[in-house]
Amino acid sequence: MHPEWGKVAVFGAGSWGTAFSIVLADAGNDVTIWARREEVARAINEKRENTDYLHGIELPPNVSATSDVQEAFDQADVVVWATPSQTFRENLVAWAPHLPADAVMVSLMKGVELSTLNRMSQVMEQVTGAGPERIAVISGPNLAKEIARREPAAAVVACADEQVAVRLQRRVHSPAFRPYTSVDVLGCELGGAYKNVVGLAVGMAVGLGFGDNTTASIITRGLAETARLGMKLGANPLTLMGLAGLGDLVATCSSPLSRNRTFGERLGRGQTAEEIYASTRQVAEGAKSCASLRALAEQSGCDAPIAMYVDDVVAGRMTANEMMDAVLARDTKAETD
């Protein structure tokens, strides 16, 4: 390990927390993963594998795991959050008293809290009282399985303090993972949450049997919708054209590995959200964030038909087929309105 670096604590031993630990380890960090279940921590330490979430991937020797919060934080100067967004606040309230005072916190999560419409950086700020120089986001086209196989990929490291972003960039730059810096935390978070909702809509189109014209149209209008809300909220539109916006949108909407796209595909084939939830324990953030992004758009006076209709389908108020008809029947307008 680098002589000036502390340890990195990764909270969440799901697919992304585990895959990102490989990036961190390959970049030269000592990593401790906090796992909610002790047997997952034990499997990581003894079998060098997270059999539940990343089967068949051998973890590097500088990754260990624990289910003890204090042990996970010990010696950490960077803390990475990789749990589902909707339960993050209650988790963080429990973890915050043990958080090392100067540690920089990094969110890998891609969702907007339903009860408050807050982004994860806002939750971090509210619960821990940390300033913007200790709050960062890493986001991009990063499907966990591909990252775990060390397939080349890039992402954005965003922090309001550019020097902190540059320091974090060094901590996550591995031979297969190329990070770019940004100061646009809001844009990165919005891009990450919105692409999941658009991924659901694309999945529905695929499930209904439609082809590439349909999916390309949804991706493009999804990006327009993301940019419309993003600009209203103060994001840099170029962020939404970058890796945390367009890049992630393309990866999610094109890949059968995406849980959001798969969730949408099953809705398109006529399953209900409840049936899908009952058959998987993996998180599809868009199924919840469609409602928060819809509400955020309504609050901002922004037209957001994709978030609105996806929310209606997930909530069972409309079928995927009815959604496609409704989208096409909307009043016509100029493309750039």
Ligand X SMILES: NC(=O)C1=CN([C@@H]2O[C@H](COP(=O)(O)OP(=O)(O)OC[C@H]3O[C@@H](n4cnc5c(N)ncnc54)[C@H](O)[C@@H]3O)[C@@H](O)[C@H]2O)C=CC1
Ligand Y SMILES: O=C(CO)COP(=O)(O)O
DSSP 79: E
7 tagged catalytic: no
| Residue 335 buriedness (CB in 10 A; 0-12 / 13-18 / 19+) | exposed
Q: Give the DSSP letter string of 111-136.
A: -B-TTT--BHHHHHHHHH---GGGEE
Among 51, 116, 163, 282, binds ligand X (CB under 6 A): 282
Tokens coding 291: 């409602």
| 143 is a contact residue toward ligand X (CB under 6 A) | yes
- Contact between 77 and 107 (Cβ < 8 Å): no
Tokens coding 167: 């320091």
| 288 is a contact residue toward ligand Y (CB under 6 A) | no
Instruction: Name the binder of 87 from ligand Y, ligand X, none, CB < 5-8 A by kind.
Output: ligand X
Q: Percentages helix, strand, coil for the chain, rounded to the nearest 5? A: 55, 15, 35
Among 63, 80, 82, 297, binds ligand X (CB under 6 A): 82
| 16 is a contact residue toward ligand X (CB under 6 A) | yes
- Contact between 203 and 265 (Cβ < 8 Å): yes
| 164 is a contact residue toward ligand Y (CB under 6 A) | no
The residue among 75, 102, 287 whose CA lies nearest residue 199 is 287
Among 121, 122, 239, 260, binds ligand Y (CB under 6 A): 260
Of the two residues 143 and 267, which places its CB atom closer to ligand Y in the complex?
143
Q: How far is CA 324 from CA 163, 204, 217, in A?
A: 45, 9, 12
Query: Which amino acid, residue 140?
Result: G
Among 7, 47, 195, 232, which one carries the catalytic annotation?
195
User: Minimum CB separation from ligand Y for residue 195, in Å?
Assistant: 7
| 89 is a contact residue toward ligand Y (CB under 6 A) | no
Instruction: Name the binder of 225 from ligand Y, ligand X, none, CB < 5-8 A by kind.
Output: none
Stretch binding ligand Y (CB under 6 A), from 78-86, 99-107, 136-144, 266-274:
136-144
Binding site for ligand Y (CB under 6 A): 110, 141-143, 196, 199, 248, 251-252, 258-260
Q: Which residues are catalytic?
A: 195
Binding site for ligand X (CB under 6 A): 12-17, 36, 53, 82-85, 87, 91, 108-111, 142-144, 282-283, 285
